[in-house]
Structure 1
Amino acid sequence: MADDSSSQPPLAKYLASSDKKTRDKAVKSLAKYLSENQGKALPKQEMAKLWKGIFYCYWMSDKPLVQQALSSELADLLLLISSTESAFAFLGGFWEAIVREWNGIDRLRMDKYYMLVRKFINASFRLLRRAEWENSALGTFNEVLTSPGGPLCPDDTRIPGSLTYHIVDIYLEELEKALSVASDPSSDTTFSELPAPLIPLLLPFFDLAARTSSSITHSRVSTGLIDPLLVALTTASSSDPPSKKRKFLTLSQQSDLSDLISKSCIDEPQKGVVQPAELRNAVLRSMFDVASGPDVKEANRRKLYAIWKVAKAEEEDIGDTS
């Protein structure tokens, strides 16, 4: 491999080499570059070239343990970048590459890319924790996810549905995992103990459910994220089981999300955690507000209102039994 100086990122051809030793050395060189060069992010064209190389570096990994280790190593690159702005630019490059290359991933490789996406979602939450959930960081994170080309953009028909569904399915789980970690040894980072502002983190999904033209996408957001969260918050708010109105949820969907709930707030981390009932009300209020927006698909509006109505009925049930 050519000079691995940290003055410039390793060339994509080394990252995508057929030789594992060359790829490994290129990843180490990239980690060194990212940790030592804290100036402006790479120009968009250079970022795209770099991420194409990283994508195929991962493509070439062909053993489960190697894939698992490499997916963690690549995601942890985010935490090596001390500038939050530059870290999100790097994250944006990841999502652009994933969206661009997703439909070319064959069936045998799909599971490992699902794992890579999971690792980057988790690392993104750890990055937000490092930034102490600053509003600017949250806004940039949501912009990366929801802008055209982002995996949760409701208007971009280029976004593969299977990618969006996977993010929906793992989002709360990975947030809970990220909140349970105290530090990151690889980047010498100690994470903030401030609670996660749940409403800003959920807004991309409320917006997606409200504005998507796909009934399948709307249904997946509802059953994969909104309903399980409301069930968990309802359960945490009362000693009684959730209302029979949510009987359609399978046991596998009914994670209690207890760590997430106990380490979350509405939207102001500095004020500390809030009670589950208060958090639940804030989630419902935010969802209702998004559903009431002017550019919401009418069918989606009705469905979100229906979720809100059922949840409010459950709230009355809790009040009657308390």
Structure 2
Amino acid sequence: MASVLEPEVFLAQRLASNEKYIRNRAMKKLRKYISVRSLNASGGFTEEDLLKLWKGLFYCLWMQDKPLLQEELSNQICSLIHNFPDIDKQLMYLDSFLQTMKREWTGIDRLRMDKFYQLVRFMIRQTFELLKRNNWESNVMDKFVKLLTSDLLQSDSKPPSGLQLHILDLYLTELAAVGAAELSADQNLMFIEPFCKTAAKTKSRMLFSAICRNILGTIIDQAPFAVEDLMKEMKVLDSDSGQESEEEGEEVEDECEENKTRSKIACKKPAGKQINGRKQSEDDDDEDDMFHSDDSDSELPHDDMGPILQFDYSAVADKLLALARRSSTPGHNRQKLYKIIIVLRDLSEG
């Protein structure tokens, strides 16, 4: 007698079918199956179950051609996270996704890479939407950052560098798109804390440079626009209360200009600086600039920047300083972090 396939294996096989109509039907069945299985008195899905399903979902996207259909499918796959009944199962779905991507990443050919880049972006976006639906509760955010750290930032988890770099590149952009209007500076600090800790201890210069450029550098580059947004909010509040004046408007404008100037000055380095008795090389110059974007990026109009996260620059500097002072921090990392701290201090002083 033929053995009966587990539901997860059966669905995974259908999701990976060569026939599009079979894959489409499997996606519809999977959505219903998640809702029904989650109500099971035995406790719903296990991590092993979700890994089986994700293998099928991975190859479901692998088989899909045409960019618009790929985008639609990626949205459907990532939105499944909201079909699970509680935050623990929802984060287990995210964890299984990251485990699957780590396992399969190096086997993705260059012709298919773009659609998996898109899948990763949509999954991070839906995860932030999940946190938003939970009102950005601190315990839920804490579970998320711990999962992110264990899956992507710890060396023993062996994440592919391409996956790490892609998530670093999109992380703040997607967080801002979902939560910029609601998140406080303290909450934003919590979201970047795993990267600060990793920057202080990693021995990978590639990962360290990516964190400085895509996380810390983005915060620094967007500082003038963040201050401008904050001033605009204050201006609206003053207007509503009848306390706004032309002089206050001029002060806001002057302060924004001063912040831009201070940020640019703080980011500049003295040429020909001596380090350990030798003249600084061009490679060192490149490392000093690792946390800055290109000049062309910094000249973008405010409207093109998109939503911007608010940060307490003094608190970020304090966090980095406490981490950089540890004896376990590599000397190269400490030296670069101190330079970033100086820039953040200048920004906090306005």
- On whether the aligned pair clears a TM of 0.5, the verdict is yes
1:243 corresponds to: 264
1:201 corresponds to: 191
Q: 1:111 to 1:311 in 2, by over 3 A?
A: same
SS of structure 1 residue aligned to 2:293: coil
1:187 corresponds to: none
Is the contact made by 2:34 and 2:83 (CA closer than 8 Å) also made in structure 1? yes
2:324 corresponds to: 291
2:220 corresponds to: 230
Q: Which aligned segments of 4 or more residues in structure 1 are displaced greater than 6 angstroms?
A: none
% identity of equivalent residues:
33
SS of structure 2 residue aligned to 1:307: helix
Match of 2:307 among 259, 280, 294: 259
After TM superposition, list the pairs within 5 Å mapping 1:114-129 onto structure 2.
114-129=117-132
The number of residues matched between the two structures is: 282
Could you list the per-position Cα deviations for residues 132-151 of structure 1 after superposition, in whole angstroms to 9, with x for gaps in the alignment?
Answer: 1122211211122111xx12
Q: In structure 2, what is the Cα distance between the partners aligned to 1:178 and 1:60?
A: 30
Match of 1:216 among 194, 200, 206: 206
1:86 corresponds to: 89
Greater RCO (CA < 8 Å, at least 6 residues apart): 2
1:24, CA displacement in angstroms?
A: 1.1
Q: 1:302 to 1:180 in 2, by over 3 A?
A: closer
Mark the structure with the bigger radius of gyration. 2
Structure 1, unaligned runs of 5 or more:
1-6, 182-192, 265-275
Code of the aligned partner of 1:298: G
Code of the aligned partner of 2:52: K
Q: Which moved more, 1:294-303 or 1:209-218?
A: 294-303
Q: In structure 1, what is the Cα distance between the partners aligned to 2:31 and 2:83?
A: 7
Code of the aligned partner of 2:94: L
Q: Which moved more, 1:292-301 or 1:115-124?
A: 292-301
Code of the aligned partner of 1:233: A
Aligned-CA RMSD value: 2.5
Q: In structure 2, what is the Cα distance between the partners aligned to 1:215 and 1:303?
A: 11
After TM superposition, list the pairs within 5 Å mapping 1:1-322 onto structure 2.
9=8, 11-39=11-39, 40-147=43-150, 150-151=151-152, 153-156=153-156, 158-179=158-179, 195=184, 197-237=187-227, 238-240=255-257, 241=260, 242-246=263-267, 249-251=293-295, 253-254=297-298, 259-261=307-309, 279-316=312-349, 318=350
Is the contact made by 1:41 and 1:89 (CA closer than 8 Å) also made in structure 2? no
Code of the aligned partner of 2:30: L
Code of the aligned partner of 2:307: D
Code of the aligned partner of 1:60: M
Q: In structure 1, what is the Cα distance between the partners aligned to 2:144 and 2:80?
A: 16
Is the contact made by 2:192 and 2:215 (CA closer than 8 Å) also made in structure 1? no
Could you list the per-position Cα deviations for residues 240-293 of structure 1 after superposition, in whole angstroms to 9, with x for gaps in the alignment?
Answer: 2132333653146447667333xx5xxxxxxxxxxx5xx222222222233334
TM-score, length basis structure 2:
0.73
TM-score, length basis structure 1:
0.79
Q: In structure 2, what is the Cα distance between the partners aligned to 1:157 and 1:134?
A: 27
Q: In structure 2, what is the Cα distance between the partners aligned to 1:28 and 1:293?
A: 52
Is the contact made by 2:12 and 2:57 (CA closer than 8 Å) also made in structure 1? yes
1:235, CA displacement in angstroms?
A: 4.3
Q: In structure 2, what is the Cα distance between the partners aligned to 1:88 and 1:47?
A: 11
Q: In structure 2, what is the Cα distance between the partners aligned to 1:33 and 1:75?
A: 16
Structure 2, unaligned runs of 5 or more:
1-5, 228-254, 269-291
Is the contact made by 2:55 and 2:100 (CA closer than 8 Å) also made in structure 1? yes
